[in-house]
Structure 1
Amino acid sequence: MAVLSVREKLAILSDAAKYDASCASSGSARRDSLKSGGIGSTEGSGICHSYAPDGRCISLLKILLTNFCIYDCSYCINRSSSNVRRARFSVDEVVRLTMDFYRRNYIEGLFLSSGVIRSPDKTMGEMVEVARRLRIEEKFGGYIHLKTIPEASAELIEKAGRYA
């Protein structure tokens, strides 16, 4: 199996995240002014727009930690029996991507979900570690939305809430 670059993982895992309902622009067409030589081109790199209760538009990096999954839920595109291209970010890669996008003012926050890796606790633990590193080590003050993983321990859900 070939080793994927972070850019390839981003393409796969941001596309897979569009099925996770939440962002108003998920799956929408993106502007492309490259053909006309203009500015303002955007690439499908996982940036979606959500709206705060006060109506502000918030740009989020919306990705999956992985689209590998141990379950075979018939409704899910990332089910174990699905024939989709698979990828997985490391915790370090998600932290680095988030901070790089944030420093460039592309995003104001992170929306992170995942397929289930090995077990619900293993997956939720990695997602919590992403949020912990962003908050504690990187001093990230932006928005973090962590999807909870079904059947993860109450302790991990509590930690997710603390950092998100």
Structure 2
Amino acid sequence: MISDTYVECLVKKKTNTLFLLLRILSVMLTVVFILLGLILWPALIVGALTGVAAYFIYLNSDLEYEYLYLDKEITIDKVMAKTKRKRVAKYDVQRMEILAPMNSYHLGDYKNRTVKTYDYSSGEAKQPEARYVMYYEGGQKVILEPGAELVKAIKNVSPRKVFTD
């Protein structure tokens, strides 16, 4: 039997204060150097370079993560400034060890593992906690913020590995 469940979930990442300050500073520097470039030609080149830097800072400071569940696979895309999309990860639900809320007692056996952590959540703790932790193939800890529908779809495929406490 092939699972044809399709669930999509979009999570906005909280903008880091440092990125916000860098974004403002880079735009201000761009304007100053372009205006100065009207008088001194080399300043126009510096203005163009700071403009390019401002563009890339803007792309990386306005992030969203899109989770897509289809055919027992979770695909995570990074959407930058609502204009560019980049696939960052793909997980097979059958190879997942556990999926549980961040503060779940089910994660007790996994706390002392040294694993590489990937955070694809909003980056902020909410009440009640909406983030989930997934341990994948013993070497990865993935932090997600799935909706209830996405958790339910994963639980239908792998009920012994998914906990909702």
Please classify the TM superposition score into its range, dividing by the shorter chain length: under 0.3
Q: Whose radius of gyration is greater, 1 or 2?
A: 2
TM-score normalised per structure 1? 0.26
